Amino acid sequence: MVLKGGEFLLKESNAADVFILEELNEEQKMIAGMCQDFLEKEVFPNLDKIDGMEPGLMRSLVAKSGELGLLGISVPEEYGGFGQSFVTSMLASDILGAGYSYAVAYSAHTGIGTLPILYYGSDELKQKYIPKLANGEYAGAYCLTEPNAGSDANSGKTKAVLSEDGKYYILNGQKMWITNGGFADVLTVFAKIDNDKILSAFAVERNFPGVTFNPEEKKMGIKGSSTVQIFFNDCKVPVENMIGKRGEGFRIALNILHIGRIKLGANVLGACRRSVMQSVNYANERKQFGSLISNFGAIKYKLAEQVIRLFVAESSLYRTAKYVDDTIKKHMNDGMAKPQAYLEALGEYAMEAAILKVFGSETLNYIVDEFVQIYGGMGYSAEMPADRAYRDSRINRIFEGTNEINRLVASDMFLKMAKKADSKVFDIAKSVYDQLENIQENTTADYFGKKHFILEKLKKASLLMLGKAYEAISKQYNTEQETMMSISDMLIQLYAAESVVLRVQKLEGLKSEQEYAVYKDICDVFVYEASSRIYKSAMDALNSFATGEEFTKIQNGLRKLTSVEPINIKEARRRIANKLIEDNDYKF
């Protein structure tokens, strides 16, 4: 059974329905190997040159990626691509995500630089641009952000006016923070036609008269990625280069952002993996007090936590990617054309996309921070690998909508789901509240029975808090951003916890009993920690709207709903760290 977007809150998920990395087929493993080989041969030996913006280097890397087929993994075969599944496209983004600035260029090109034309362009536009974007002859970029239009993208001021002869739209305006803008051949540009209140989108070629480019921006990190301001001064764009319909631009932008958010959730995994590997390599080389620092409990804690958060992020991303693939197939079986099926599926999982973006980027943030810390003073040296990883990671909490925006998106999607006519969310929330004083304890001795019982309680806690918050603040809900974000944090931890339980459950039987034990440790520690985080977030929300007897009743209920059996997390983390230390690499 494929769960619809947000249904993980209402229904028990089945391990058999999720995809885990351990199930990659031979073709997918071959693609992953090809991506890794490209990094080893073309990217890692040139990291300093890339960050130094050596003229033409990044553009040549994009071209080489196209020659190998890496740019066309998710492009249909009719346009020169491989037409691979969504899971496979996420796998490529995952592996290449270890490529620092190159990963940004790759992701921007294959995502926001290509997909608006692929999924909204006319047949003529697709035939004209997609094959060249897929083979690397053209590089793509996406021009949405303006000086006064960032998170509020639809407030952009760039204008388009139809020429007197009706053959062109005349563009005037300014775009900023344009990734790949310094070398992109095709730009997806958003502008408002005449006095329209909603954006439209256009495919603009670099050499169209009236397009000018500022010098490269100087950035904190991802220094090798091209980022420029672009100006349009009476730029003539053929009317047939409109992408989609007039006034459809904002919808295009939002749908492409859903894709970008899941894609970023994949990108960060490769960066996480490389940072974990370099962290343990150093811990296994550095001696202090006559011992390798990997022998110290404080370092083992850091290494184990890096592993746990990465493993959980992987579990969440690939679970969702399979849901998207299954939903695309369902829509197509119902007669929907593939482009529309793809967009419908991505829209369906908008809540999960926001969750993955936040959890993934904050997982990478944690891992690179501890990467620096494990290196100690050496970690602060610009000559050490932690320097680039640390600086480059920071942008991911801003890319594809800030994490604050994505938290609000997740909470808002939760509320919209609750307010649908056929939704039972508020009824369930009321039922949970009415039964808070009679919460039953788990009676099963089965390991996964206990874990699913905990997840069921955490879902009830999340539903309860949305119901009571909306009941208390109602129309003010969307302005009470602190409360919304606390509820989002509950959803993020819940989805992550369920994802790791499902993955570990599916791994049972695929690993020997001895190998399998460490995966149960990962599951135990994360569910234990997630439960306490969910309680903290729930209380932060509760304190903002409840008082008196109601407050006390809900607080006592939340304690029961988020309670878990005690585990020796010190020993569990040590066992996880010991495997990492013994392997001297991330092999989970």
Distances (CA, A) of 142 to 30, 184, 205, 253: 30, 9, 12, 10
- Nearest residue to 496 via CA among 355, 365, 367, 392: 355
Q: How far apart are CA 99 and CA 120, in angstroms?
A: 29
Q: How far apart are CA 223 and CA 221, in angstroms?
A: 5
- Nearest residue to 98 via CA among 270, 297, 265, 231: 270
The secondary element (H helix, E strand) that includes residue 231 is strand 227-238
Q: How far apart are CA 219 and CA 260, in angstroms?
A: 21
Question: What is residue 155's DSSP assignment?
Answer: G
Beta-bridge mates of residue 238: 168
Q: How far apart are CA 198 and CA 154, in angstroms?
A: 7
Which of the residues 305, 352, 370, 400 is marked catalytic? Answer: 400
**471 is known as an active-site residue:** no
Contact call for residues 320 and 410 (beta carbons, < 8 A): no
Tally: H helices and E strands in the chain: 19, 10
User: Hey, what long-range contacts does 468-472 have (CB within 8 A, 24 or more apart)?
Assistant: 468/429, 468/433, 468/542, 468/545, 468/546, 468/554, 469/541, 469/545, 470/415, 470/418, 470/426, 472/545, 472/546
Contact call for residues 137 and 66 (beta carbons, < 8 A): yes
**Would you name the residues annotated as active-site residues?**
400
